[in-house]
Amino acid sequence: MLNFLPSDFSVLIEPESCIKCRRCVRECSFEALVFRDRVVPDHSRCVACHRCVAVCPSGAITVVRNRLAFRQNANWDEEIIKNVYKQARVGGKLLTGTGNDKPYPIYWDHLLIDAAQVTNPSIDPLREPMELRTYLGRKPSRLDFYHDAGGGFKLTTVLEPQIKLETPIIFAGMSYGAVSLNVHRALAAAARRAGTLMNSGEGGLHESLYSFGENVIVQVASGRFGINRAYLERAAAVEIKIGQGAKPGIGGHLPGEKVTGEISKTRMIPEGTDALSPAPHHDIYSIEDLRQLIYAIKEAVRYQKPVGVKISAVHNVAAISSGVVRAGADFVTIDGFRGGTGATPTIIRDHVGIPIEMALAAVDDRLRQEGIRHQASLIASGSIRSSADVLKAVALGADAVAIGTAALIALGCQMCQKCYTGRCAWGITTQRVDLTDRVDPEEGAERLYNLLRAWSLEIKEILGALGLNSIESLRGSRERLRAVGLTGTEMEILGVKPAGR
């Protein structure tokens, strides 16, 4: 039988421009280019990662969509047809990387931010104070003080551990294994410089990064990789990972061939064995079990660090979050369905979960209704693409946001969605040494720091326009958002009025 699967892209090489240096052939980790007296592309292997385009000294290469036309069909589109071909051949689950690429509504883009005019003045963020400092951790509902006769006072309430952030943006959990050690190094150094946090993800923390512990959230996920006392003790906070927006309710595994020497040491498992993360934590089958693990970790760190829980945004996220807070979580990370991943079945990524905007609004509302909003900080993630998204998330009620995909794009990711192949040509989601060298940890840290700095400057700019000089005055202030193009129900859930009201 003829086995026809049209390629997604075409690699065009201008023969007059090509100087036959073969750099593109060496750089293409997907083996889409070979040299036979000239550079010959294998279109079917091209993933549009643009590495060849970027390295070509004479600008001879471009990558275009395969022009082969399928008959236009809004129902059976090209991707769906190709997926059927692929599955009919192999009989397996479709696998993908990064976040959901389907045209679901992006509610951030339906929310507009207020500004001050006349009745309240805007503030110049360059010359007047503008504060982004944020503390993550469980807070009491009130404080008590001891007052001395001289008018001085001293706090008598004993506070639970808090983490100070200089900007309300942290890096999302991405494991060493899913990303390379150089990526982890860049994230750690940038987090330290910006006064914020990286998140180890579920694959442990490489020994060389233990010294960055004060700027690291370490994860305890179902696979329990790389967890020992030092791991918990060196970190700023511990996060129990229950779910991930891109793949709610399912586990994952790092294939054995990626479990190389350093990863094996970091995850504390033998080289070459699959690193399986079960779908659930097998010591958590209920909310009371979650409490049990939260307190096991609090006991292990002697109550010196916040212990949080990361869940994916699912239909009943408000009630679940309320339970999570009552179970003792000091912060809750909610990851929306557009969040990224190193590998997940496409069918899960594209069809399971709910948007972070709705989830965040619903959770913040519920925790307030129950009077427990102060008991945990809320971290929103799942496709935060710009400082505007950060601000809108904060206005909906987030204490901070976590960025994963944006951070990887800052390191050069072209969003080709092939993270799961381990061939990342930009050296980000791979463990092949020839590829991981393509990320320079110091330059990477610089870029990540620049991104945080740029977004923080923009946040200050907008706060100034709002007439606010402190981020906490926007936090949860949905009054400063208006909706365009949303239904009444959507606005009700988001707690915002339509533009013009």
Residues 97-156 that bind another protein (CB under 8 A): 116, 119-121, 123, 128-129, 131, 133, 135, 139-145, 147, 151-155
Distance in Å, CB of 482 to another protein, minimum: 12
Residue among 269, 406, 425, 491 that touches another protein (CB under 8 A): 269
> Is residue 260 within the footprint of another protein (CB under 8 A)?
no
**Binding map of another protein across residues 160-189, x = CB under 8 A, - = no contact:** --x---------------------------
Residue among 53, 55, 95, 499 that touches another protein (CB under 8 A): 95
Decide whether 14 or 79 has the Cβ nearer to another protein.
Answer: 79
Map residue 41 onto helix, strand or coil. strand
Distance in Å, CB of 72 to another protein, minimum: 26
Note the residue count of the chain: 501
- Strand 134-136 with 163-165, pairing: antiparallel
Decide whether 388 or 407 has the Cβ nearer to another protein.
Answer: 388
Decide whether 348 or 411 has the Cβ nearer to another protein.
Answer: 348
- Does residue 11 contact residue 52 with C-beta atoms inside 8 Å? yes
Q: Which of residues 28-57 bind another protein (CB under 8 A)?
A: none
Decide whether 77 or 283 has the Cβ nearer to another protein.
Answer: 283
> Is residue 228 within the footprint of another protein (CB under 8 A)?
yes
Cα–Cα distance, 436 to 430 (Å, whole number): 6
Distance in Å, CB of 223 to another protein, minimum: 7
Site size toward another protein (CB under 8 A) is 87
* Residue 171: both structure tokens together: 């890096």
Decide whether 141 or 489 has the Cβ nearer to another protein.
Answer: 141
| Residue from 224, 185, 231, 226 nearest 210 by CA | 231
- Does residue 381 contact residue 404 with C-beta atoms inside 8 Å? yes
Decide whether 308 or 345 has the Cβ nearer to another protein.
Answer: 345
Decide whether 13 or 465 has the Cβ nearer to another protein.
Answer: 465
Q: Which of residues 444-463 bind another protein (CB under 8 A)?
A: none
DSSP bridge partners of 136: 163
4: Cβ–Cβ under 8 A, 6 or more apart, which residues? Answer: 85
> Is residue 71 within the footprint of another protein (CB under 8 A)?
no
Q: Which of residues 360-379 bind another protein (CB under 8 A)?
A: 368, 371, 373-374
Decide whether 35 or 145 has the Cβ nearer to another protein.
Answer: 145
Cα–Cα distance, 264 to 177 (Å, whole number): 9
- Angstrom CA distances, 28 to 47, 158, 428, 464, stand at 10, 57, 14, 46
Q: Which stretch binds another protein (CB under 8 A): 57-65, 72-80, 104-112, 216-224?
A: 216-224
> Is residue 498 within the footprint of another protein (CB under 8 A)?
no
**Binding map of another protein across residues 282-301, x = CB under 8 A, - = no contact:** xx--------xx-xxx-xxx
DSSP bridge partners of 12: 62
> Is residue 472 within the footprint of another protein (CB under 8 A)?
yes
Q: Which of residues 240-259 bind another protein (CB under 8 A)?
A: 253, 255-256
DSSP bridge partners of 41: 33
Cα–Cα distance, 261 to 258 (Å, whole number): 9
498: Cβ–Cβ under 8 A, 6 or more apart, which residues? Answer: 482, 483, 484, 486, 491
- Angstrom CA distances, 81 to 5, 86, 164, 244, 424, stand at 9, 9, 50, 28, 26
Residue 84 exposure: Cα atoms within 13 Å on the Cβ side: 5
Q: Which stretch binds another protein (CB under 8 A): 63-71, 89-97, 305-313, 355-363?
A: 89-97
Dihedral angle of Cα 42, 44, 45, 47, to the nearest 10 degrees? 120
Residue 410 exposure: Cα atoms within 13 Å on the Cβ side: 26
Q: Which of residues 320-359 bind another protein (CB under 8 A)?
A: 345
Q: Which of residues 384-423 bind another protein (CB under 8 A)?
A: 395, 420-421
- Does residue 198 contact residue 185 with C-beta atoms inside 8 Å? no
Would residue 488 be called left, alpha or beta, if left means φ above 0 and alpha means ψ between -120 and 50 degrees? Answer: alpha
Decide whether 66 or 469 has the Cβ nearer to another protein.
Answer: 469
> Is residue 84 within the footprint of another protein (CB under 8 A)?
no
Residue among 50, 51, 206, 224 that touches another protein (CB under 8 A): 224
